[in-house]
Structure 1
Amino acid sequence: MSQSTPQRNLVIFLTFLRLGCIAFGGPAAHLVLFFQYFVKQEKWITENEYSHLLALAQILPGPTSSQLGMAIGFQLNRYQGACFAWLGFTLPSALLMCAAAILSLKLSDQLSTLFFHVIQLIVLAVVAWAFWQMMRSFCKTKFQYLVMLLAAFFIYFFQFSLNQVLVILAATVIGLVLSSNNLHNKKPNIAEPVPPIHNNLSLNTGGNTHTSWLWLLAFISPFFVLPFFDIQHSNILAFSLESFYRTASLVFGGGHIILPFLHQDFVSTGLISNENFDLGYALAQLMPGPLFSFATYLGTLLPMTDVPILNASLATLAIYFPSFLLLFGLLPYWNKLMKYPMLFGTLKIINAAVVGLLLCLLFQMSQKYIIQWTDFIFVAVVIALLRSKLPVWFSLISNFIGYYAFLTFLPF
């Protein structure tokens, strides 16, 4: 890219905007789309650069595909490139989810209980399918399965505001101890394979490490400052923004894992109804772009200010802000960090724990949503179609229409 800075930013924005409009299928499809376009088609980055940026995006908490897009934008035009890449890729889904939330506010009173029941079963099927995929990807050993089950057990039986945070912190400590012991005993099997280090790698690391620590300091500051304020009871705006920020800072393994965090913060506290929450999550499956746009939907519904569009914008910025801080702070260190397999070994234990969070949510949802035997069969059919090669939007919409009609004309 040989254009001037404004022209380059415009090209980056329009490129990611176009990709954001066609990026259906979730993070896995997004990663393939980025590889085909930026590496194979345009050759703006090399395959080695892509693999290193992908490794960074995968090890950071938050939305993997969005963070990879930010990293590619940074590689193309530093900080401005990262911001314009994020804006272009996020804008289509954010606008659609904001519009869907405003529409749901106007129509929610007209929608029947049966409508929301079928939506809840759709969400249950999507979560079950996501759980199965994540379990197969992140649980490879008996110990990882044990961590998953213990995390689910703890969340289910010990329900308090910081239980999910404690699970993530405990998994981090366990992962560090196990990885350290394995490396000390020369058994590095716990570590994920990492891309090879290339001495001639031309990553745009954004300068030296003398200033990058400021980004990392900004990232951790809210966790030390906000606990001193009773924001949940005194200020809905502050509580909501803190929730989005905390959620994005702690979730690993994809967009689906934000569900238990946000459900606990907004549904359990009564700020958003369970029906509207499930409807938004179901709609998020149909949208192009990142699943984190679900935060845009929730922000539109939250009474943070008197302007729903402003609420949507604030929620969107809050849930993506940690990704910017971590990406800008860690890029200068990344080539060095790639040499430490203990980092990747710890991530394996954290991923097993977050699968446990999803397992607990799946069990809780099953208890509430499955009322009759046909519900169970319907969920199984939806999961089977999600496993097929049919488009996700087609599977979900056709199943919804079919089961809704079935329950309407053949009630039990």
Structure 2
Amino acid sequence: MRRNRNFIFLKDVAGLACTAFGGPQAHVAMMLRLLVAKRRYLTAAELLELQALCALLPGPTSTQTITAIGLRLGGPNLAYLTLLIWCLPAVIIMTVAGLLLSHVDGGRTAQIVQFVQPVAVGFVAFSAYRIAEKVIHTKTSVALMVAAAMVAYFFQLPWVLPVLLLAGGSVTTLRYRKHAIVQDKKPLQVEWANFGLWLGIFLGAALLGHYTEWLPMRLFENFYRNGSLVFGGGQVLAPLLFAEFVEFKHYLTSAEFLSGLGMVQALPGPNFAFASYIGALAMRPTGLGTTGQLVGAVVGALGIFLPGIFLIFFAIRFWDGLRQYRVVKASLEGVNAVSAGLVCAAALLLYHPLADRMLDMPGCPPGWRLPLNPLLVGITFLVLLWERIPSVAIIGAALLAGWLVG
């Protein structure tokens, strides 16, 4: 029975990997719909707690979250399979893009995915509605949600997210006496193995990267260091990689970097797969051809994803022990409220960059036109509210429409 559940979970992860467009906020929206509402692998509050914990750690938040779910359901083996299946589609596509850069038609790709972004915003808006419905129960939670949404909207800085989560948790911690005392508390045990593994590879890669002339080793150190120190997801990672690989080391041109960045934004799955594209292009000077570029892509993917995975494996093992304490339980009310506010802000922030498109109304006088993007966002929200059409069908319809129009 457990083996069948694990197989179904991995199939669900594969579905998300191929349809979860829009970055971490849209990813959690789809996880809520599939993994929580449909499959009931965990509750909405548990998913938000995991996402908040991952957001406090460096690394790719969505990847850490879905890997942590796999760890809880089936242990380390299922977690590593989850990581592989979640990352593989985006990593393969970005590797192929690195190998065939001169043949990639960026304009055609943009046409095909032109309707995916407003649909992704609809997913995020629906996620905000569902989260608020499940975790907002007090006036304090409402206030925290609104305040967090406003701060996140007006101050788009990488350190804002962890600060807001900590601040929200601190506010509701003051109400810890309202929570029941756990009588049989399990002793808090911290297992340092994964932290030691993360730190050991960090220091070892730094030394080898400094003293060796072997380019794959130096690339692994570069990506592992960035994956260990970046907070805030792919949007924050991109300028760091640009500064290191374009401006400082000149492994890529600015045009090559921006082409890859635009492509990864249009793909489902983790934005950190961008590292495989950079790794493939960075290996061109070695003269090893396709083989060398494939090595660079693998090194880039391993270097960027492994630090966050080691850290979440370390943190999650004592997280359940921490949740026994009333102070921690009380803080989770504020963390969840802030998480809801962050998703509300994300829906607005993701909507702003969309190009304005107007839809002519047949049979009406000239000038009678409907704004297409708000219409797509609203239709997506209503379809999700209906709960009869799977997410993959909605994304597939958006891609088909883009292909037909393009």
TM-score of the two chains, using structure 1 as the length reference: 0.61
8 Å CA contact retained: 2:164, 2:338: yes
Identity %: 12
Cα offset, 1:148, TM superposition: 1.6
**Separation of aligned partners in 2, 1:180 and 1:198:** 16
8 Å CA contact retained: 2:10, 2:85: yes
RMSD over aligned Cα, in angstroms?
4.6
Which of the numbers 258, 263, 275 marks the counterpart of 1:299?
275
2:36 aligned with 1:31: yes
Cα offset, 1:70, TM superposition: 0.6
Cα offset, 1:144, TM superposition: 2.5
Name the CA shift for 1:350/1:406 in 2 (closer, same or farther; >3 Å): closer
**Separation of aligned partners in 2, 1:327 and 1:99:** 29
Which of the numbers 266, 269, 273 marks the counterpart of 1:282?
266
2:152 aligned with 1:151: yes
Q: Tell me the residue number matched to 1:96.
A: 89
Which of the numbers 365, 369, 377 marks the counterpart of 1:383?
377
2:328 aligned with 1:343: no
**Separation of aligned partners in 1, 2:103 and 2:37:** 41
Q: Tell me the residue number matched to 1:273.
A: 257
Deviates most, 89-98 or 261-270? 261-270
Q: Tell me the residue number matched to 1:352.
A: 341
8 Å CA contact retained: 1:135, 1:355: yes
After superposition, give the CA deviation of every residue in 1:376-409 in whole Å (9 maximum; x if it has no partner).
95534543554324444443344334344435xx
2:227 aligned with 1:244: yes
**Separation of aligned partners in 1, 2:308 and 2:237:** 11
**Separation of aligned partners in 2, 1:171 and 1:330:** 19
**Separation of aligned partners in 2, 1:123 and 1:200:** 49
2:358 aligned with 1:373: yes
In the alignment, residue 373 of structure 1 is paired with which amino acid? Answer: M
**Separation of aligned partners in 1, 2:106 and 2:182:** 58
8 Å CA contact retained: 1:53, 1:71: no
In the alignment, residue 35 of structure 2 is paired with which amino acid? Answer: H
8 Å CA contact retained: 1:125, 1:379: yes
**Separation of aligned partners in 2, 1:323 and 1:241:** 15
After superposition, give the CA deviation of every residue in 1:184-217 in whole Å (9 maximum; x if it has no partner).
8x7x7xxxxx9x998799xxx8xx53543x3696
Name the CA shift for 1:98/1:337 in 2 (closer, same or farther; >3 Å): farther
Cα offset, 1:175, TM superposition: 1.8
Name the CA shift for 1:264/1:153 in 2 (closer, same or farther; >3 Å): farther
**Separation of aligned partners in 2, 1:134 and 1:379:** 18
8 Å CA contact retained: 2:119, 2:395: no
Name the CA shift for 1:379/1:237 in 2 (closer, same or farther; >3 Å): farther
8 Å CA contact retained: 1:149, 1:356: yes
After superposition, give the CA deviation of every residue in 1:324-377 in whole Å (9 maximum; x if it has no partner).
1111232343433686312332442355246536644543x23xxx16535995
Alignment of 1:133-144 (within 5 A): 133-136=126-129, 137-138=131-132, 141-144=142-145
In the alignment, residue 314 of structure 1 is paired with which amino acid? Answer: G
**Separation of aligned partners in 2, 1:132 and 1:178:** 26
| Structure 2 SS opposite 1:209 | coil
Name the CA shift for 1:384/1:268 in 2 (closer, same or farther; >3 Å): farther
**Separation of aligned partners in 2, 1:66 and 1:321:** 11
In the alignment, residue 31 of structure 2 is paired with which amino acid? Answer: P
After superposition, give the CA deviation of every residue in 1:296-319 in whole Å (9 maximum; x if it has no partner).
x32311227651123223333234
Q: Tell me the residue number matched to 1:261.
A: 236
TM-score of the two chains, using structure 2 as the length reference: 0.62
8 Å CA contact retained: 1:69, 1:86: yes
State how many pairs are aligned.
330
**Separation of aligned partners in 1, 2:79 and 2:184:** 27
Name the CA shift for 1:170/1:180 in 2 (closer, same or farther; >3 Å): same
Name the CA shift for 1:179/1:395 in 2 (closer, same or farther; >3 Å): closer
Q: Tell me the residue number matched to 1:402.
A: 401
In the alignment, residue 209 of structure 1 is paired with which amino acid? Answer: L
**Separation of aligned partners in 2, 1:316 and 1:259:** 12
2:188 aligned with 1:209: yes
Any unmatched runs of 5+ in structure 1?
2-7, 37-46, 74-81, 156-162, 189-193, 252-257, 285-290, 408-412
| Structure 1 SS opposite 2:266 | helix
In the alignment, residue 154 of structure 2 is paired with which amino acid? Answer: F
